[in-house]
């Protein structure tokens, strides 16, 4: 089902608000737990999601020295989640050790290992910021591709990229490399802090495996209607 390709982030500050969203949108099969909720409430929400047989994207975007990210990925894998993120800019050694540690953590916990995916370039960053604030001398699409290739060389399962880069990453990294796209915006939704967006239908056509769509659904007057509208728009293409 195309709707299973949509991951909805639980970007709320309390467990009660997260559970209210789960109750309101039982049709959503894949949820994302990110920094705000995990730092506020801890891992209890992961248990709740598993009890409801939901798939889980644990998006904590690890970025540290190799030994530390490996330890974090070992622990994250133990929760039995489906996807875990690390920044590609942690470097090849960190990525490779993190991947090994995720496999070990899952084995120790007796759960299936998560797919470890690397953040290439945050979807909020513009080409201008990359060049003038971060002083990256490559064009943004080229840099995103280099980060994805680094992740692939290190043995990771995939990458997080904006929908505007996904076609090129798909062509170069192949069909087996998982590509997850946040920064997706229906034509009728506000972009907010996302600078490199496409619509859900465009992102899927360009080769995304999964779309992360948050505020257009969760901040809508009717999240149910927003979800339905997005599903219809994807199906119509
Ligand atoms: O490059 C990235 C990586 C992660 N995210 C996360 O996705 C969602 C997007 O939410 P919206 O409300 O649809 O903007 C959010 O949880 C981010 O932490 C991202 O946007 N870009």
Based on the number of CB atoms within 10 Å of its own CB, is 6 exposed (0-12), middle (13-18) or buried (19 or more)? buried
- Is the full-model pTM beyond 0.90? yes
Ligand 1 pocket mutation, candidates 10, 212, 213, criterion most atoms within 8 A of CB:
212
Please tell me if the CB atom of residue 36 comes closer than 6 angstroms to any atom of ligand 1. no
Round to whole Å and give the CA distance between 48 and 9.
15
Give nearest CA residue, ligand 1 atom 3. 122
Share of the chain above pLDDT 90, in %: 99
What secondary structure letter does DSSP report for 217? H
What integer is the mean pLDDT of 223-231?
Answer: 98
135 is known as an active-site residue: no
- Average of per-residue pLDDT values in the chain: 98
Phi/psi region, residue 174 (left: phi>0; alpha: psi -120 to 50; beta: rest), is left
Per the annotation, the verdict on 4 as an active-site residue is no
Query: At residue 232, does pLDDT exceed 90?
Result: yes
Q: What angle do CA 79, 80, 81 make, to 5 degrees?
A: 95
Top mutation candidate among 56, 123, 197, 215 for ligand 1, by most atoms within 8 Å of CB: 123
ipTM: 0.99
For the segment 167-182, the average pLDDT, to the nearest whole number, is 98
% the chain with pLDDT above 70: 100
pLDDT at 137 exceeding the cut of 90: yes
Taken in order 135, 195, 159, 59, the sign of the CA dihedral is positive
Interior/surface letters 133-164, b for 16+ CB within 10 angstroms, e for the rest:
eeebeeebbebbbebbbbbbebebbbbbbbbb
No. of H helices and E strands in the chain? 11, 8
pLDDT at 189 over 90: yes
CA 207 to chain centre: 15
pLDDT tens string 34-77: 999 999 999 999 999 999 999 999 999 999 999 999 999 999 99
Q: CA 146, CA 153: separation in Å to the nearest integer?
A: 10
237: confidence class by pLDDT, cuts 50, 70, 90: confident
In this prediction, residue 6 carries a pLDDT of 98
Q: Is the CB of 186 under 6 A from ligand 1?
A: no
Output the pLDDT for position 163.
Answer: 98
Cβ(34) to ligand 1 under 6 A? yes
**pLDDT over 90 (residue 201):** yes
pLDDT of residue 143: 98
Residue 47: which residues within 8 A CB-CB, separation 6 or more? none
Q: Note the pLDDT tens digit of each residue in 73-112.
A: 999 999 999 999 999 999 999 999 999 999 999 999 999 9
Q: pLDDT digits over 2-27, tens only? A: 899 999 999 999 999 999 999 999 99
CA distance between the termini of the chain: 14
61 in catalytic set: yes
> Residue 130 is encoded by which pair of tokens?
């990359």
Cα(108) to centroid(ligand 1), Å: 30
């Amino acid at each position: 089902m195309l709707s299973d390709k949509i991951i909805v982030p639980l970007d709320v500050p309390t467990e009660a608000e997260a559970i209210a969203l789960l109750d309101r949108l039982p049709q959503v099969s894949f949820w994302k737990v990110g920094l705000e909720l995990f730092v506020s409430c801890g891992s209890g929400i992961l248990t709740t999601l598993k009890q409801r047989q939901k798939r889980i994207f644990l998006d904590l975007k690890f970025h540290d020295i190799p030994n530390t990210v490996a330890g974090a990925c070992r622990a994250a894998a133990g929760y039995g989640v489906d996807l875990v993120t690390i920044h590609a800019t942690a470097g090849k050694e960190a990525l490779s050790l993190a991947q090994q540690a995720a496999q070990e953590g899952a084995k120790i916990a007796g759960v299936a290992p998560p797919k470890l995916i690397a953040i290439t370039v945050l979807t909020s960053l513009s080409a201008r910021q990359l060049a003038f604030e971060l002083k990256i001398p490559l064009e943004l699409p080229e840099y995103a591709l280099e980060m994805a290739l680094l992740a692939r060389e290190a043995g990771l399962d995939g990458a997080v990229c904006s929908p505007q880069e996904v076609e090129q990453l798909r062509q170069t990294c192949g069909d087996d490399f998982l590509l997850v796209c946040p920064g997706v915006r229906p034509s009728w939704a506000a972009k907010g802090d996302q600078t490199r967006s496409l619509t859900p239908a465009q992102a899927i056509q360009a080769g995304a495996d999964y779309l992360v769509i948050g505020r257009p659904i969760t901040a809508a007057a009717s999240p149910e209607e927003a979800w339905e509208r997005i599903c219809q728009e994807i199906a119509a293409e």
